[in-house]
């Protein structure tokens, strides 16, 4: 059976790219062709922006409550389509079924939360001096652009689409070239839910062509990217040329900080989850495990034992705990970093190689990997690897833990593990990062702001702050006095008090 073909999604229709070109999406488990997808470029982006511009005014004019109702409908439809979407996400990116089923089951929450915001958001009446009424109204930006990565294809897209819709914007999406299928299918869900054609458009394609054309488009009012830090910088530079609003969720090198009052089993379970979920391919991956020296050796022993016992395999299998990396390219990057770590003098305590056996022959597999005897300045402890590699480092006291945790260019997330209440908050406040979990890791909610300090990004997803970032303020100042004010009358200037 030939692989399915997916066109772009523009103005509610599936269309081929104007060039007629397409690209292949391969399954990282076995290299099989999953689909051929239309390859959009600058001309297609321009057409999609035009379609969005045609649709934007009516969507913006619709009462927020009505937009909210349609978003609630989208949540219901999405929930029904979960099994198909889960299968497709597994086929595109190779993440295990248990992960994708758990992650996608939460997507409707974003449409419900932001649908509720659309219905309930209240504007302000600032205390303007004198006999005036001042009120503000948050109005949509117009057409916005979303550039998304492959590691959580639908979740990250939804984090951008839901607040954009709630605020009344139309949008053009450039999904990752590795995972464009589910973003295209979201178009069908939104259409069925009553989102007008042209409000949500998807142009699959590559970063330097379609992505750059979207970022540089002069009629896009905001560009929101999730991707690597170099990508964020490149897109920010393009957006700056047009004074386009810009927000970016970028790379990370999260620290998991374990104080000695935490049970070894709990610390190890935390580290495994933080380091190896998504085969380590998350922006908040616990890439650096900082353990108090007094329990360091016990934690390492148990971490190595549990890492070696993880079930690596076919992501379609419900029992699989660790799937392949997304691509041969990503695996080559991880292999290179393992060589770098060894060259730097770190000790390979688990993994560090491809798994052996017939089931792994054609896939992009790599074993979960633990480095010990790593030091904070090593490249493996500084640079984002984006794979299943954790560096374990001991610390003596709280100050040292904070210093190591803060000692990278990144500042996305960290977790602090301790039962000492004062210490937990003290450390959380000292960490230079946008998200800190205390006794947890990688917990997310549509209401809870998400984003990075330093080179991990600009702006925040989730919460009211995300909704507001998809609006602009219209300020209306009303003179409540009917008397004529005449500045140029002889006594006019004296009548004006501001
Ligand atoms: P990537 O930077 O390679 O690509 C991200 C998106 O940007 C893709 O759609 C790509 O086509 C596009 N792109 C690439 N170059 C471009 C350019 N010059 N102009 C316009 N668009 C361009 O990232 P990826 O490999 O898809 O995802 C992994 C990265 O994303 C990691 O660095 C990870 O930390 C980061 N990430 C961050 C978060 C967060 O919330 N902060 C979440 C997930 C992933």
Does residue 387 register a pLDDT over 80?
yes
Widest CA span of the chain, in angstroms?
96
Centre of ligand 1 from the C-alpha of residue 121, in Å: 31
Between CA 227 and CA 103 the distance in angstroms is: 19
pLDDT for 497 equals 56
pLDDT at 28: 98
How confident is the model over 73-91, as a mean pLDDT?
97
- Give the single-character DSSP code of 208: I
> What mean pLDDT comes out for the span 187-195?
98
The distance in angstroms from the start CA to the end CA of the chain is 75
pLDDT at 480 over 80: yes
- Residues 330, 387 contacting (CB under 8 angstroms): yes
Q: Give CA–CA dist 51/205, Å, rounded.
A: 18
**To the nearest whole number, what is the mean pLDDT of the chain?**
97
Which of 94, 156, 228 has most ligand 1 atoms within 8 Å of CB, for mutation? Answer: 228
pLDDT of residue 492: 79
Q: How far is the CA of 232 from the centre of ligand 1 (A)?
A: 7
Q: How far is the CA of 216 from the centre of ligand 1 (A)?
A: 16
Distance, CA of 366 to CA of 437 (rounded, Å): 28
pLDDT (tens digit per residue) in 20-31: 999 999 999 999
Question: Active site includes 249?
Answer: yes
Cβ of 285 closer than 6 Å to ligand 1, yes or no, is no
Question: pLDDT at position 154, please?
Answer: 98
Strands 245-249 and 457-458: antiparallel
Residue 176 in contact with ligand 1 by CB distance below 6 A? yes
If you count them, how many residues does the chain have?
A: 498
Structure tokens at 130: 């004198």
How many Cβ atoms sit within 10 Å of the Cβ of residue 2?
Answer: 6
Q: Per-residue pLDDT averaged across 254-277, rounded?
A: 98
For residue 215, the ligand 1 atom closest to its alpha carbon is 20
The reported pLDDT for the residue numbered 265 is 98
Q: What is the pLDDT of residue 327?
A: 98
Q: Give residue 392 CA to ligand 1 midpoint distance, Å.
A: 27
Please tell me the distance between residue 450's alpha carbon and the centre of ligand 1 in angstroms.
Answer: 16
Tens digits of per-residue pLDDT, 136-145? 999 999 999 9
Q: CA nearest 157: which of 187, 191, 113, 118?
A: 187
pLDDT-above-70 percentage for the chain: 99
Mean pLDDT, range 56-80, rounded to an integer: 98
pTM of the predicted model, to two decimals?
0.97
- Cα separation, 192 vs 77, whole angstroms: 8
Q: State whether the beta carbon of 174 lies less than 6 angstroms from ligand 1.
A: yes
The CA distances from residue 303 to 108, 148, 291, in Å, are: 35, 33, 12
What is the rounded CA–CA span in Å between residue 470 and residue 491? Answer: 46
* Ligand 1: residue whose CA is nearest its atom 1: 227
Q: Decide if 342 contacts 348 (C-beta within 8 A).
A: yes
> 386 in ligand 1 pocket by Cβ < 6 Å?
yes
Q: Is 466 in the pocket of ligand 1 (CB under 6 A)?
A: no
Helix (H) or strand (E) holding 5: strand 5-6
Q: Is 251 in the pocket of ligand 1 (CB under 6 A)?
A: yes
Q: Assess contact for 177 and 92: CB atoms under 8 A.
A: no
89, 99, 302, 461: the active-site residue:
461
**In the prediction, which pLDDT does 493 show?**
72
Q: Where are the beta strands (DSSP E) in 233-314?
A: 245-249, 254-258, 286-292
Q: b vs e for 173-209, b when ≥16 Cβ sit within 10 Å of the residue's Cβ?
A: bbbbbbbbbbbbbbbebbbebebbbbbbbbbbbebeb
Residue 160 annotated as catalytic: yes
Best mutation site among 42, 103, 160, 231 for ligand 1 pocket (most ligand atoms within 8 Å of CB) = 231
With a 6 A CB cut-off, is 211 part of the ligand 1 pocket?
A: yes
314 lines ligand 1 (CB under 6 A): no
8 A C-beta contact, residue 201 and residue 11: yes
- Mean predicted confidence (pLDDT) in 376-394: 98
Determine whether the shortest distance from the Cβ of 212 to ligand 1 is under 6 A: yes
Ligand 1 atom, smallest distance to 285 CA:
34
Catalytic residue among 39, 177, 253, 283: 283
Which residue is closest in CA terms to ligand 1's atom 26?
149
pLDDT at 498 over 60: no
Residue range 361-382, pLDDT digits in tens: 999 999 999 999 999 999 999 9
């Amino acid at each position: 059976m030939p692989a399915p073909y997916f066109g772009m999604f523009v103005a509610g229709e599936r269309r081929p790219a104007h060039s007629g070109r397409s690209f292949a999406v391969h399954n990282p488990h076995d290299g099989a062709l999953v689909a051929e997808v239309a390859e959009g470029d600058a001309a297609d982006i321009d057409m999609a922006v035009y379609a969005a511009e045609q649709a934007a005014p009516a969507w913006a004019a619709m009462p927020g409550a009505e937009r909210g109702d349609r978003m609630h409908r989208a949540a219901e439809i999405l929930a029904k389509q979960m099994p198909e979407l889960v299968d497709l996400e597994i086929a595109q990116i190779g993440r295990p079924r248990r992960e994708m089923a758990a992650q996608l089951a939460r997507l409707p929450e974003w449409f419900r939360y932001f649908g509720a915001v659309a219905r309930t958001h209240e504007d302000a009446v600032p205390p303007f001096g004198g006999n005036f009424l001042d009120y503000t109204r948050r109005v949509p930006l117009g057409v916005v652009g979303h550039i998304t990565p492959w590691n959580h294809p639908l979740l990250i897209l939804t984090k951008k689409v839901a607040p954009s819709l709630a605020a009344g914007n139309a949008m053009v999406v450039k999904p990752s070239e590795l995972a464009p299928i589910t973003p295209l299918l979201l178009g069908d869900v939104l259409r069925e839910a009553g989102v007008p054609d042209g409000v949500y458009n998807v142009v699959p394609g590559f970063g330097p062509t379609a992505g750059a054309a979207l970022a540089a488009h002069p009629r896009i009012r905001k560009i929101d990217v999730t991707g690597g830090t170099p990508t964020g910088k490149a897109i920010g530079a393009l957006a700056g040329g047009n004074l386009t609003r810009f927000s970016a969720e970028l790379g990370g090198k999260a620290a998991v900080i374990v104080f000695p009052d935490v049970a070894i089993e709990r610390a190890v379970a935390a580290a495994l989850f933080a380091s190896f979920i998504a085969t380590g391919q998350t922006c908040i991956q616990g890439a650096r495990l900082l353990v108090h020296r007094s329990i360091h050796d016990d934690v390492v022993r148990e971490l190595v034992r549990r890492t070696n016992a993880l079930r690596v395999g076919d992501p379609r299998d419900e029992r699989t705990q660790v799937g392949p990396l997304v691509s041969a390219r990503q695996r080559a990057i991880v292999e290179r970093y393992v060589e770098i770590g060894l060259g730097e003098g770190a000790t390979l305590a688990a993994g560090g190689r491809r798994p052996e056996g017939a089931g792994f022959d054609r896939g992009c597999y790599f074993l979960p990997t633990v480095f010990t005897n790593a030091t904070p300045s090593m490249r493996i402890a500084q640079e984002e690897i984006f794979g299943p590699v954790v560096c374990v480092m001991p610390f003596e006291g709280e100050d040292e833990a904070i210093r190591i945790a803060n000692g990278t260019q990144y500042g996305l997330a960290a977790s602090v593990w301790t039962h000492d209440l004062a210490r937990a908050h003290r450390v959380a406040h000292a960490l230079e990062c946008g998200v800190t979990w205390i006794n947890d890791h990688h917990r997310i909610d549509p209401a809870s702001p998400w984003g990075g300090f330093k080179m991990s990004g600009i702006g925040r997803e989730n919460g009211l702050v995300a909704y507001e970032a998809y609006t602009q303020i219209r300020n209306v100042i009303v003179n409540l006095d009917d008397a004529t004010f005449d500045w140029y009358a002889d006594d006019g200037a004296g009548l004006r008090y501001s």
